[in-house]
A = this chain, B = another copy of it.
Amino acid sequence: MTKAPETEKETQRIEAFSDGVFAIVVTLLIFNVKLPDPAAVTANGLLAELAKSWTIYLAFAASFFFVLVMWINHHRLFTIIRRSDNNLMLLNGLLLFGVTVVPFPTSIVAAYLLDPQQQAAVFIYNGWFFLVAIMFQLLWRYAAHNNRLFSHAVDPAITRHIARSYNIGLVLYLAAVLIDIISPPVSLAISIGLAVFFAIPNRQVQQLMTTSDTTA
């Protein structure tokens, strides 16, 4: 009983630190969006020049959405994970490493989306999200192993569902990376579809979680 608040506090600081990292990444993305060249603005008008940079806005908006979805999933994981240890801090740190890198592939895909280097740019972009999916998988597996870091027995049906959606995600991100060899636009469409998939929670899991909370 005396240990409970101690443990709670530890997870809270991990979440606060992670929230900080997610919030900063999401906010700094806009700083890759630069003002158009003043001479071109004078010649063609501001709105026309801004409109030319649509690939940059697209890459910015997509990455914002991707990082938001990562945050929502991190948030979901930590409603289940309640205990903390040193390995969790390192694996969570690895995931945050993956998150902080996102602005770099974003600026690559923004710069080379309509360029002959499109395929390489999409490879780096989707390849990085595949690596982030692996980092999520590692964090989840470590925490879920024998319910190691769950505060109370979680309904095994929830664990199964989350594990399955993470496995599906991993396979489809890999597919997105491979499909880039044939068609970069299709590859991008798959990874955006995957973000939508992870943005919407499984209805069954949500019901199970609510039930398990009430009976806890």
Contacts and interface: CB of A to CB of B under 8 A. Distances in A.
Interface of A: 2-3, 6, 9-10, 13, 15-31, 33, 35, 38, 41-42, 45-47, 50, 61, 64-65, 68, 71-72, 75, 79, 86, 89-90, 93, 96-97, 100-101, 103-104, 107-108, 111-112, 116-117, 120-121, 123-124, 199-201, 206, 213-214, 216
A17 B19 contact: yes
A161 to B, nearest CB: 15
26 contacts: A6-B79, A6-B213, A10-B75, A13-B15, A13-B75, A15-B16, A16-B19, A20-B20, A20-B22, A20-B24, A21-B23, A24-B24, A26-B100, A27-B100, A35-B111, A38-B111, A41-B117, A46-B112, A47-B120, A50-B124, A64-B100, A65-B93, A71-B93, A72-B90, A72-B93, A90-B199
